[in-house]
């Protein structure tokens, strides 16, 4: 196959121009011991089955007429009843559609997957569109956590005649021996604001041109999987493949695509997420929390003048930075990347500390506005909660008075009312509005008791915030005097 580009470069004498980011920039070669047996560089090929040998050579296994019509029929009927060509719109419709589960977990298919990968496989993704995905050249592995490392396979099950015009699945035989694309490396090449929940979509801008360049350099031809109902293609997670373009947009392409991971290579998929069907085959329910990406952690710790300070971290992908925005009554006032070193995270024993943010507002807010201001992660719009607002300490206790400070982190000017307690009795009240010796801010209190306390009473005194009844902690450097 000679492309226009190749012809042009022949006549002009110019060589193929490489994209700025090359395949080598986001891929690597893994050591043998991390890979499934059939992927290792040197193995004893004598004992392999014919299918294992084909898999090792091509990175695909085509199984013609593998699934009998009576097995595909219940799913086809259910899928036809749904109507729309796009199919179900989420990745785990098999949870609600047992006919899909039965097909994707067809025991001879599961046995074949195990024969190729070398361990028990479990289902965690189904694509149910009856049109091509149009997804350009890629490997699948990098769309998963990096530790999956080829302990993975996907299956294309034809449910009707698949001709050349409907945008068939295409692949590059042998490309499963190319280096492995790494999700971590790809994300590092994206600007921080594209590393969130939609990073895979953004990654195509980097991956597609780099793979296309590699294909032109290697001159390896593509193969289309043309098929009939019941034919199956299993492909390697490192195989370069695409959902080719249909001749006419929207042409029907009847298939079920299912993706599987090795049960020993998904520590992120807990036992509680794994379910067994009547045959003991395993499918995954990520649960609502994970499916909705409710994994953004964090706190807004202070609003001080025009600055909004806090931290935010994506618990599922801590290597990525979360982009946050400050919103007042539906208006975004400021946004920024949560990638600053944040000492409080070190104190809290987080392994990674670079999730702090400081947003600068265009103006100082009134107390009412500051109270209404919210901060959220841009992707998923997850609200980042405010840390408990009051912060303070009791610094000095004597038999005649108690000294300390307390502030509202979100309303620096508030004079916080406090009560001095002895047991459950209020023995004195005051306000944190005095200039604090060390901190040089007006949130100190210095409250005299109505009478001299005994030493035991002095040590039993507690100070609480009047309106929340929270007890203030004793300073680690508490001073006790007579
Ligand atoms: O549309 C297609 O056949 C490609 C699907 C694909 O890339 C995948 O399921 O990983
Ligand atoms: Fe894919």
Predicted pLDDT at 294: 45
158 lines ligand 1 (CB under 6 A): no
Predicted pLDDT at 378: 86
Predicted pLDDT at 267: 85
- Contact yes or no for 78/99 (Cβ under 8 A): yes
The pTM (predicted TM-score) of the whole model is 0.62
> Ligand 2 mean position to 48 CA, how many Å?
27
- Contact yes or no for 398/351 (Cβ under 8 A): no
325 lines ligand 1 (CB under 6 A): no
- Confidence grade of residue 440 (pLDDT, cut at 50, 70, 90): low
What residue has token string 């698949």? 162
* Stretch 163-180: mean pLDDT: 97
140 lines ligand 1 (CB under 6 A): yes
317 pLDDT above the threshold of 50: yes
- Confidence grade of residue 74 (pLDDT, cut at 50, 70, 90): very high
Residue 257 corresponds to which tokens in the numbers above? 């695509």
162 lines ligand 1 (CB under 6 A): no
> Ligand 2 mean position to 237 CA, how many Å?
8
Alpha-carbon gap, residue 307 to 111, rounded angstroms: 59
What's the distance, CA 244 to chain centroid? 27
Alpha-carbon gap, residue 44 to 76, rounded angstroms: 42
Quickly name the fold that domain 390-480 has: Immunoglobulin-like (2.60.40)
Predicted pLDDT at 8: 42
| 296-384 under CATH 1.10.3470, yes or no | no
Per-domain residue ranges of the chain: 4-290, 296-384, 390-480
Computed over every residue of the chain, the mean pLDDT equals 90
478 pLDDT above the threshold of 60: yes
351 pLDDT above the threshold of 80: no
Nearest atom, ligand 1, residue 169 CA: 3
Residue 56 is classified by DSSP as: H
How would you classify the pairing of strands 282-284 and 121-127?
A: parallel
380 pLDDT above the threshold of 90: no
Residue 442 corresponds to which tokens in the numbers above? 């007006």
Predicted pLDDT at 438: 61
Quickly name the fold that domain 4-290 has: Jelly Rolls (2.60.120)
pLDDT digit string, tens, across residues 110-142: 999 999 999 999 999 999 999 999 999 999 999
> Ligand 2 mean position to 249 CA, how many Å?
20
Predicted pLDDT at 38: 97
Percent of the chain clearing pLDDT 70 (strictly above): 93
- Contact yes or no for 128/100 (Cβ under 8 A): yes
pLDDT digit string, tens, across residues 54-72: 999 999 999 999 999 999 9
- Confidence grade of residue 296 (pLDDT, cut at 50, 70, 90): confident
Alpha-carbon gap, residue 158 to 234, rounded angstroms: 12
Predicted pLDDT at 397: 95
- Angle, helices 50-58/107-117, rounded to nearest 10 degrees: 60
- Contact yes or no for 284/124 (Cβ under 8 A): yes
* Stretch 251-280: mean pLDDT: 93
- Confidence grade of residue 291 (pLDDT, cut at 50, 70, 90): very low
Alpha-carbon gap, residue 33 to 24, rounded angstroms: 21
- Best residue among 131, 135, 232 to mutate for probing ligand 1's pocket (most ligand atoms within 8 Å of CB) is 135
103 pLDDT above the threshold of 90: yes
- Please indicate whether the domains covering 296-384 and 390-480 agree at the CATH topology level: yes
* Stretch 140-165: mean pLDDT: 96
What residue has token string 């508030």? 414
Predicted pLDDT at 347: 67
Residue 386 is classified by DSSP as: B
> Ligand 1 mean position to 39 CA, how many Å?
22
pLDDT higher at 264 or 5 = 264
> Ligand 1 mean position to 231 CA, how many Å?
16
């Amino acid at each position: 196959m000679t492309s226009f580009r190749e012809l042009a470069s022949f006549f002009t004498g110019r060589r193929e121009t490489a994209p700025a980011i090359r395949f080598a920039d986001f891929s690597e070669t893994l050591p043998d011991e991390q890979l499934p047996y059939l992927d290792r560089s040197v193995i004893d090929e004598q004992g392999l089955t014919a299918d294992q040998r084909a898999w090792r050579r091509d990175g695909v296994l085509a199984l013609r007429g593998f699934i009998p019509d009576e097995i595909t029929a219940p799913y086809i009927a259910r899928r036809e009843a749904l109507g729309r060509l796009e199919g179900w719109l989420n990745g785990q419709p098999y949870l609600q559609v047992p006919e899909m589960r039965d097909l994707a977990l067809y025991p001879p298919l599961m046995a074949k997957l195990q024969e190729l990968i070398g361990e028990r496989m479990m289902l965690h993704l189904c694509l149910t569109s009856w049109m091509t995905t149009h997804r350009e050249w890629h490997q699948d592995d990098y769309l998963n956590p990096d530790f999956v490392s080829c302990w993975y396979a996907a299956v294309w099950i034809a449910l009707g005649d698949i001709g050349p015009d409907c945008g068939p699945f295409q692949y590059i035989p042998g490309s499963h021996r190319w280096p492995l694309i790494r999700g971590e490396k790809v994300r590092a090449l994206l600007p921080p604001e594209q590393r969130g929940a939609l990073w895979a979509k953004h990654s195509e801008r980097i991956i597609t041109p780099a793979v296309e360049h590699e294909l032109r350099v290697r001159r390896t031809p593509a193969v289309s999987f043309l098929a009939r109902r019941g034919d199956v293609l299993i492909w390697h997670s490192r195989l370069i493949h695409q959902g080719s373009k249909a001749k006419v947009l929207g042409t029907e392409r009847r298939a079920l695509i299912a993706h599987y991971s090795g049960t020993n290579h998904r520590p992120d998929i807990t036992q509680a997420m794994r379910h067994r069907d009547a045959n003991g085959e395993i499918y995954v329910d990520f649960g609502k929390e994970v499916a909705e990406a409710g994994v953004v952690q964090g706190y807004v710790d202070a609003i001080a003048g025009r600055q909004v300070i806090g931290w935010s971290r994506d618990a599922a992908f801590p290597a990525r930075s979360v982009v946050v925005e400050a919103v007042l009554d539906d208006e975004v006032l400021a946004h920024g990347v949560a990638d600053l070193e944040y000492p409080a995270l070190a104190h809290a024993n987080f392994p990674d500390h670079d999730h702090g943010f400081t947003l600068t507002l265009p103006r100082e807010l009134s107390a009412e506005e500051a109270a209404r201001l919210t901060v959220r992660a841009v992707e998923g719009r997850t609200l980042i909660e405010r840390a408990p607002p009051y912060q303070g300490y009791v610094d000095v206790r004597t038999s005649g008075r108690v000294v300390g400070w307390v502030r509202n982190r979100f309303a620096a000017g508030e004079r916080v009312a406090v009560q001095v307690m002895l047991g459950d009795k209020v023995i004195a009240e005051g306000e944190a509005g005095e200039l604090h010796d060390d901190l040089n801010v007006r949130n100190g209190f210095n409250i005299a008791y109505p009478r001299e306390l005994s030493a035991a009473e002095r040590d039993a005194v507690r100070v609480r915030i009047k309106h929340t009844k929270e007890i203030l902690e004793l300073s680690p450097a508490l001073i006790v005097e007579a």
